[in-house]
């Protein structure tokens, strides 16, 4: 895994130039604290700690906002591989267009869309569709959802509903350095 080289560490040249051991000591303590925080963040992001991430659904025409009664999500990142489990229930969503779930890490750049996840809907979604799945959109934080209206019918983009319930698991390859 490539690590970023553009971190900005605290630099206070006045303290260093002063020659005062107390000021230099304070500066070194701040620098060590910053380096420890960077190490801790990298360690958690790459060594497999399960972390929380609140799932959010949005419309691709108009993102909108909703009121969530359930909004639970967890992810596990090992190197570039990201596993994301989520459960959400919302009402009063103001978004429009195709439905998309926000992901915790940006999806790897690719010419194809090989990153598939499994989603399940209850209430509104399961009554309207025979099956649902999604694809991670390359170089974005988006998981776009598709559905089969009936057995053998072509898949169509899943429209964002005003209220609904979704849960599932998405596995994808995240980018090394997100920008």
Which residues have CB under 8 Å from 145's CB, separation 6+?
A: 98, 99, 100, 101, 119, 132, 133, 134, 157, 158
The angle subtended at Cα 152 by Cα 148 and Cα 154, nearest 5°, is 50
pLDDT at 64: 97
Strands (E), 19-98: 47-52, 57-59, 67-78, 81-91
Residues in the chain: 179
pLDDT at 1: 46
pLDDT at 125: 63
Cβ atoms of 105 and 141 within 8 Å: the answer is yes
pLDDT at 51: 87
Q: What are residue 58's phi and psi, to 5 degrees?
A: -145, 165
- Rounded distance between C-alpha atoms, residue 58 and residue 111, angstroms: 24
Region of residue 60 (phi > 0: left; psi between -120 and 50: alpha; otherwise: beta): alpha
Which of helix, strand or coil describes residue 152? coil
How far is C-alpha 156 from the chain's CA centre? Answer: 24
Closest CA to 149 of 128, 165, 166, 118: 128
Domain residue extents for the chain: 13-48, 53-173
List of the chain residues with pLDDT < 70: 1-13, 15-16, 41-48, 112-118, 120-130, 177-179
Cβ atoms of 113 and 71 within 8 Å: the answer is no
| HSE toward the beta carbon, residue 65, CA cutoff 13 A | 1
* Both tokens assigned to 125: 């979604």
pLDDT at 43: 63
pLDDT at 135: 87
Cβ atoms of 117 and 138 within 8 Å: the answer is no
């Amino acid at each position: 895994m490539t690590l970023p080289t553009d971190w900005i560490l605290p630099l206070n040249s006045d303290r260093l130039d002063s020659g005062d051991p107390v000021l230099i000591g304070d500066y070194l303590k701040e620098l060590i604290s910053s380096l420890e925080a960077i190490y801790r963040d990298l360690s958690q992001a790459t060594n497999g700690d399960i972390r929380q991430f609140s799932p959010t659904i949005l419309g691709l025409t108009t993102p909108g906002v909703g009121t969530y009664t359930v909004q639970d999500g967890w992810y596990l990142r090992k190197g570039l591989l990201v596993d994301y489990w989520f459960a959400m229930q919302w009402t009063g969503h103001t978004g429009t267009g195709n439905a998309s779930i926000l992901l915790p890490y940006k999806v790897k750049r690719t010419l194809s869309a090989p990153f598939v996840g499994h989603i399940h809907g209850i209430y509104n979604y399961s009554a309207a569709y025979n099956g649902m799945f999604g694809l991670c959109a390359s170089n974005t934080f988006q998981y776009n959802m598709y559905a089969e209206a009936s057995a053998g019918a072509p898949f169509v983009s899943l429209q964002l509903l005003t209220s609904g319930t979704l849960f599932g698991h998405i596995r994808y390859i995240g980018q090394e350095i997100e920008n």
